[in-house]
Amino acid sequence: MKLIADSGATKAAWAFVENNEVSGRSQTPGISPYYMDGADILHLLRNHALPFSNEVGEIYFYGSGCDSEDNKTKVEKALKTYFPSASQIEIASDMLAAARSLCQREKGIACIIGTGSNSCYFDGTSIKKNIRGYGYILGDAGSGAVLGRRLLSDFLYGRMPQNIKSLLVSTFRLSDEKILKEVYQGKVPSRFLASFARFVSDNGAEPYFEELTRKHFSEFVETMLLPYPAVRSLPVHFTGSVAFGFRELLRGLLAEKGLRAGQFLKEPMEGLLRFHMT
């Protein structure tokens, strides 16, 4: 039996495949090896009682932060402990998951815009160039976390219309104290920040949000796409809940720059299943 897993910072999707058919699916909170140690990861697996623990022979795990050898080792040891029959384990980045899911075995530009952001040039076999997000503090242009950071910064400094500030207070019981506590003392502040992306999308017709999101995603195009020499000759694909929610805006911004929009997938799992089953 094969296990294919795709984990972002917020949630993880697990699919169990036998004889090229999906035997089961599970969803858990995301595995973030930068914030979690091996014991935390193993506790998560046990706490959510993932099935087929003694039947899985191959594991293909794609995760945020799994482009570092230390993080790969941490995740692999936890998976091996929980799935002791697994004799083949591949730990790879969420960027490779996106590239395989979106491009399959064709050339293209693959992008992730979810809690964080990332992009790469994929030659049909491997990632040849990668412009990384580097996290919401240093970068992550276009990401849900940075969108939330921009929104909350405007809230704190009074740079938004009063009706929107009041709506944030009533919807989230938001206050200066709550923001500071979640951002500076919370265990996964990026997840808190990204949780406001849906609010922005749902209220997108407001002029304030139109200006905010246009500036926000234009920065993604400038920083994460235009530096690729081949970007104008290849389709630009996207995965991630934020990219999917703002797909019409992204299509328009790409067209303005003469770029060709490809697929928009909310999650990469279905594409990964096609990749690993063909």
Name the band, by pLDDT with cuts 50, 70 and 90, for residue 79: very high
Burial (Cβ within 10 Å: 0-12, 13-18, ≥19) of residue 157: exposed
Question: Is residue 6 within 8 Å of 272, Cβ to Cβ?
Answer: yes
Burial (Cβ within 10 Å: 0-12, 13-18, ≥19) of residue 105: exposed
Q: Does any domain span residue 218? A: no
CATH of the domain at 57: 3.30.420.40
- pLDDT > 90? residue 10: no
Q: Does any domain span residue 67? A: yes
Q: Does any domain span residue 38? A: yes
Domain count for the chain: 1
pLDDT of residue 187: 84
Q: Does any domain span residue 205? A: no
Q: Does any domain span residue 51? A: yes
Q: Does any domain span residue 149? A: no
**What angle is formed at CA 224 by the lines to CA 153 and CA 222, rounded to 5 degrees?**
75
pTM: 0.88
For residue 180, what are the CA distances in angstroms to 144, 149, 184? Answer: 18, 11, 6
Domain interval for residue 41? 2-97+270-277
Q: What is the pLDDT of residues 204-244, one digit of tens each?
A: 999 999 999 999 999 999 999 999 999 999 999 999 999 99
Residue 51: Cβ within 10 Å count: 14
pLDDT of residue 14: 98
Backbone angles phi, psi at 119, to 5 degrees: -155, 160
